[in-house]
Amino acid sequence: MEVYLIGIDGGGTKTDFVLCGPAMNGIARHFAGRSNPNDIGIANTAALIKSGVCELCAKAGIDRGEVKAAFAGIAGATSRDYARQIERALCEALPNARALALHDGINVLYGAFPEEDGISVICGTGSSCFVKKGREVIRIGGYGALDLCGNGYEIGRRALAHALKTVDGREKEGIMEALLHEKYGRDFLAALETMLAQSKSEISSLAPLVFEAARRGDAAAKSIIDENIAYIASLINRASAYFEGGCKAALAGGIFKDPLAEETLEKMIPERVALVKSGLPPVFGAAARAKLLLTERG
């Protein structure tokens, strides 16, 4: 009899669901909208998770009762009692499954290092860093609004803040502002209401523009990129202290889609840290963590 596992990878932009067998062979895949409970509310997150696993099982043509384990790695899940509420939603949808919900950094850890130790760094709408040593997971940084840096939202926010300073002459306009004018028009003040109403993911979507301006020599854009990448480097540098000798750090998230991010980061971390990309997509890392639930006590 086939053993079915479900992995879920959710963040500030989208949520990815996969149904697997124990060999991590993807049987069915489903995508839904963003699921960070800090952005959309925990009730909406729980409803999205519950409906997502139901649709996933329907796509695969299996009964939900056949799923034996499910893991949801969701950005923002470790706030308040959100993880427990997500687990409850999973158990309601999957009556015979062991369920666990944690931060989405776990997905990258197990996608990159299913059988070994290492470091994972996620830099998308938000940012976080985790160390995996055996089955122990240690979090470093990324504590929400009190520790907000090294991510697309902060890069985009800083770009808008600089653009607004050009309006009253505190800063000079550059390439970055020219690119922002294409999006918001010539008058940044006229667009202020629009800027303030944007979601975190919408502000994060400005990050590629900042990277482009930095590549073209814009000093303000380069400063924004350097400061945010320096924050990421500080996370990795601290994480590397858990290892003697060399170690690996897996990178994930939209920020690292731009080669300039990794190029800048490599100059800021010790040589003994090797930057790698995950061998599995994060959602399959979530499925790998679900597989462990079959052998864990409790």
Tens digit of each residue's pLDDT (9 = 90 or more) over 81-136: 999 999 999 999 999 999 999 988 889 888 888 888 999 898 888 888 999 988 78
Domain boundaries, the chain: 4-114+280-293, 145-277
253: left (phi over 0), alpha (psi -120 to 50) or beta: left
Q: Any residues with CB less than 8 A from the CB of 132 and at least 6 apart, and which?
A: 109, 110, 113, 117, 118, 119, 120
- Cα 164 to Cα 69: distance, rounded to the nearest angstrom: 50
What is 4-114+280-293's CATH topology? Answer: Nucleotidyltransferase; domain 5 (3.30.420)
Q: What predicted TM-score, i.e. pTM, was given to this entire model?
A: 0.79
Mean pLDDT score, 47-59? 97
Distance of CA 145 to the CA centre of its chain: 15
- State yes or no: pLDDT of 23 exceeds 80: yes
Band (297; pLDDT cuts 50, 70, 90): low
| 4-114+280-293 and 145-277: identical CATH topology | yes
CATH superfamily of 145-277: ATPase, nucleotide binding domain (3.30.420.40)
- State yes or no: pLDDT of 1 exceeds 70: no
What is the structure's pLDDT at 52? 97
Tens digit of each residue's pLDDT (9 = 90 or more) over 221-257: 999 999 999 999 999 999 999 999 899 999 988 899 8
